[in-house]
Structure 1
Amino acid sequence: MLRSPQIKELRKSGKLQEALTMAAEDLTNLPEDRFAKSNIGWVYYEYLKKYVQEENVIKFSEILYHLTELSLPETDKMLPDNIAWQTGKIIFKEVKKQYIDYTVLYKIIEDCMTMHFTKPSDGYSFLLKAFHKVLKPNSHKYIELINWWNLDNLQEADKNKDVLPNGKEVMSVAEQVLTAYFKAKVPVGNEPIDKEKVFESVAELDKAIEEYPKYLYLVYFKVKMLLAINEKDRLLESFLPFAQKKSGEFWVWDNLSEILEDEEDKVTCLCKAVLSSERTENMTSNVHLKLAKYFLSMNMFPEAKWEVLKIVDIKNAESRRIPVDVLLLQNQSWFTETESAENNYKFYQNHAENSVELLFPDKQTEYIFITNVNENNGMINFTKENDQLGFFNKERNRLRFPIREGDIIKVKFDIFSENAPSKIIVAKKDSQETLLQRNFKMVVGDIRITDKGFGFIDDVFVAPHIISKHNYAHGQQINGKAIRTFNKKKEQFGWTLL
């Protein structure tokens, strides 16, 4: 007969060894009895709590193994659900230590994966958070973890961003796990690639992207997978929305350089990658190596040597091994016979100038003629080639170059409106002969100044501030430039002196 009340009393009073001895005797007599297993299981659980408090991970692992030997019924989830919390607690304690015994932690995780938990549940999610901390660096084990845990068990709470005590938001558990999981599935190194498995991973990724559209990095991993098997069809279409949102990251441009086919576009992307790597220069060796090979193909040996030396500097700064490809370049005759360029930054700047245009291939390039610049509020009025009128705010569109009345700007609009500020995604000073001839002319003639302070040179309007600025006098001959502007009151175009 089981002594369940006595075992429970001993356990509750902290007499764990006596409780364990009694429960073990009962289990020996009734080895298949579910209640005998439950009795000793709860004693083991008290030991787990004890070793969590003592931070004794080895003893914790030993007890956990004894629990797995019980082979508890799949329907008995109360004990495993409680074990989940204690397991998570001790793992979080261990990963904060300077020395981490991964062998023991791996064993704990393997043993937990034989148990039956309530799914989904808070305890099961807590277990995932803990296991994520341990297995994230190990791609093979991380994939095994997620296949066992099953991402369908994510709860709504797992999808909410965590808020740190200082108020800073960090990735939700779901985003962290999905990011680590699909990163682990990207083919790396020289291992043989199973195309069918990669396509299966891409299909799985597409489902995740549809379910979690705000998790931008999922698209990045899709790109890496398809690049690994040289499948570029529709890749650009998938990657561009992500790249547009992350255009300040060097690796976005590095990846785009691999997707695009045009050689000059590739170089543009690589140059933009370097210019976007101010905070992550230590990660750009591969970009510099690609540029070195490009310069060599163009017989630009001083520039190529500078790229190679840059890689060496990056690696030496962190006491890291020089890549074999770089060592091979250093041993070639051109390297020893060439004096290095001072640097390649001017080349980068010149070639990256139009890089943003590559992110918006479907947006039409247009030319606009600047008709008015309000220095006080930053609003700028313009005329399009078809005489449509519009305006935009210079600061909100982050246009850093000076803009003056009479300038012609080559643009790509994200949003164009005649009644609200337009949004510009690409802008560059340019020239366009047809637009210039229609909206600009030279003026020679005598000025007529009215009593109200404004004037005319034939049909050209002269604003009071222009008269005041140049101290024009009535009847004075003026030789100047005029632009075509729209008169809202008369609802027609006219000419205004600059």
Structure 2
Amino acid sequence: MFDDEAKKPFQAEKGEVPSLMLSTARQIASAWLRAREFWQLDLDQVLGFINLTRRQAKDVKHMIWLDYDQSKCLIVSGQYEQARELLLPILQKKQKEAWAWGALAATYQKQDRDLALKFFAKGIVSAHDVTFSLKLLQGAIPLLLASEQIAEASMCLKTALQAYQTNGWKVKPELEKLMAQPWYDPNVDENDLKVFMKSLCRDASEYLHGPTEKVIGVIENIHKSEKGFQVFVNRDTTLAVRMGIHKSNQKPQAGDYVELSLSTKGNEKEVVASVSCQSIELADVGKVEGELRIAPKGFGFVEDTFVPPFVIGDISNESRVTALRIMAWDKTKARHNWKAIKLEQIEVKASSMPDFDDIPF
């Protein structure tokens, strides 16, 4: 059915279009999900064509969507473990997408209610707009009712209903049935839902990478691209962190302390989560106060601590400063030395001189 051209993605003006073979495989999966009760084609035949497409189609960019379609077919057929094997790599790339978290939650609905609710919650708070979380809100309701969290279930239903009303959409029959249930309280304050959901899913990302290890470090510098930063843990360990996985209400800066979650893959450790935290005492991190001495080449020193030019900024020579410093490797001297990562200027108050008239003679 498919020649070599049909197996290649098409380069259009607005970007790459999936190959004909990949598009057909996705349509078959969608059709099976939509009309599986009436269609005579067996799921094994659908999965067989999907796997054939995965082997033969030349698509790279869009293959992730075929994995997603296959996972949905597997969930419907009760093959939850196999579905998760496909979903976890997708979620590691799409952690900010509500639909991806909703799919993972669906694999746990009949096996682990707490995990299912955790992942539904993560999807709900990750949604860019409430309309992207409607299926997740509906999926969370029976799980909340099962754990007797009636008020929270009412919040989910009310939030979903308001989205339908705001957009002028006809409310789905299944939501109308829920509205008629005696447990539903239309007077509940749905504004409390987001805080509740955040409390449920604060560690959800850690489940994507298996067991994790927590470490605390200090941000050494922000990358020039501003897409990440370097974290100093100790003189032997410095870790790169992608800006996208850092959770904070403020933009991270050099000198901020962060708690990192590390996943071990083989002999390497990967940072899978980062969150701001309070400062603690670290063996190779300290502070020193003194006079900043700037050399002609732009770098400086505070006592025995080297200060890079970009750390000095617009602070003047001979200013009184406090330097946050780390014990970093000095390539020139082939040894560890103190290096400043942040300077704070100390304002020197003018000394109060007695008035001339007050001096006794």
Query: Please, what TM-score do these two structures have when normalized by structure 1?
Result: 0.52
Q: Quick one: which of 6, 27, 30 aligns to 1:183?
A: 30
Q: Quick one: which of 49, 62, 70 aligns to 1:222?
A: 70
The 3-state SS of whatever aligns with 2:282 is helix
The 3-state SS of whatever aligns with 2:220 is strand
How far 1:227 sits from its partner (Å)?
A: 1.7
Give 1 or 2: higher helix fraction. 1
CA-to-aligned-CA distance 1:185-232 (integer Å, 9 cap, x gap): 23768x4999x9434543443333333474223222322222223222
Shift in CA distance, 272/162, structure 1 to aligned 2, threshold 3 Å: same
CA-to-aligned-CA distance 1:289-340 (integer Å, 9 cap, x gap): 222334434544443222212333344545434333x334323333248533
Q: Quick one: which of 50, 55, 58 aligns to 1:210?
A: 55
Q: Quick one: which of 101, 104, 113 aligns to 1:253?
A: 101
Q: After TM superposition, list the pairs within 5 Å mapping 1:72-471 onto structure 2.
A: 153-162=1-10, 166-186=13-33, 191=37, 197-212=42-57, 214=60, 215-260=63-108, 262-278=112-128, 282=131, 284-316=133-165, 317-324=167-174, 326-336=175-185, 339-342=188-191, 344-361=193-210, 365=213, 367=215, 369-370=217-218, 372-373=220-221, 378=226, 380-384=229-233, 387-389=236-238, 391=240, 401-405=251-255, 407-412=257-262, 426-430=273-277, 436-441=281-286, 443=288, 447=290, 452=295, 454-457=300-303, 460=305, 469=315
Identity %: 15
Q: Which has the higher contact order (CA 8 A, sep 6+)?
A: 2
How far 1:438 sits from its partner (Å)?
A: 1.5
Distance 2:208 2:66 in 1: 18
Give 1 or 2: higher strand fraction. 2
Shift in CA distance, 441/298, structure 1 to aligned 2, threshold 3 Å: farther
Q: Is the 8 A contact 2:259 2:277 kept in 1?
A: yes
Distance 1:495 1:163 in 2: 53
**What's 1:13 paired with?**
none
Distance 1:157 1:247 in 2: 34
Match for 2:52: what amino acid? K
**What's 2:333 paired with?**
490
Distance 2:257 2:282 in 1: 12
Distance 1:337 1:181 in 2: 41
Q: Which runs of 5+ in 2 are unaligned?
A: 343-361
Match for 1:240: what amino acid? L
Distance 2:154 2:223 in 1: 46
Distance 1:399 1:288 in 2: 23
* Count of residue correspondences: 328
Q: Is the 8 A contact 1:368 1:411 kept in 2?
A: no
Shift in CA distance, 229/291, structure 1 to aligned 2, threshold 3 Å: same
Q: Is the 8 A contact 1:367 1:385 kept in 2?
A: no
CA RMSD of aligned residues (A): 4.5
CA-to-aligned-CA distance 1:240-272 (integer Å, 9 cap, x gap): 223334444432211111224554443332233
Shift in CA distance, 339/241, structure 1 to aligned 2, threshold 3 Å: closer
CA-to-aligned-CA distance 1:153-175 (integer Å, 9 cap, x gap): 201122233455x5454333222
Q: Is the 8 A contact 1:271 1:348 kept in 2?
A: yes
CA-to-aligned-CA distance 1:8-67 (integer Å, 9 cap, x gap): xxxxxxxxxxxxxxxxxxxxxxxxxxxxxxxxxxxxxxxxxxxxxxxxxxxxxxxxxxxx
Distance 2:133 2:225 in 1: 40
Distance 1:340 1:371 in 2: 39
Query: Based on CA coordinates, which of the two structures has the bigger radius of gyration?
Result: 1
Shift in CA distance, 235/429, structure 1 to aligned 2, threshold 3 Å: same
Distance 1:467 1:322 in 2: 59
Distance 1:338 1:460 in 2: 61
How far 1:179 sits from its partner (Å)?
A: 0.7
Q: Is the 8 A contact 2:134 2:160 kept in 1?
A: yes
CA-to-aligned-CA distance 1:274-300 (integer Å, 9 cap, x gap): 345446x55643311222334434544
How far 1:423 sits from its partner (Å)?
A: 8.4
The 3-state SS of whatever aligns with 1:182 is helix
